[in-house]
Structure 1
Amino acid sequence: MARLVKCTEKGPYKLEAGGEAYYICRCGLSKEQPFCDGSHKKTRDEEDGKLYIYDEKGRVEIVI
């Protein structure tokens, strides 16, 4: 079943535990959930207040 998840953050959350640093995905695009794989770089030029869908072909802006 498909679902729509709105993510507003464009970068990961840094978590430090046991002397190690971990980066938690907040953009929703990482294929290594819950960890960041750098996919957030695709969101850098998104405009605030606009809705985008990402698929294997890239990004599509949704006009409502």
Structure 2
Amino acid sequence: MACINKNCFDICLETRTNPNGGVELVVKCNDDCSSDFNVLPFQACFDTTLNNDFTYSTELVALIKR
């Protein structure tokens, strides 16, 4: 029988524009999201499964905009 644990985290996805070209994405965990236009607040939920043979897997089961 496998053990399954669900964890949810409040995260902020921030986009930063590089003056030399390109975009950088930054994920901040459990922080209060700023009100900047380039910050998106989400709740990310994961299922982590531990199998009988001690192998494990992690799956993103929800990504909800807050």
- Report the TM-score when normalising by structure 2: 0.27
Structure showing greater Rg: 2
> Greater helix percent: which structure?
1
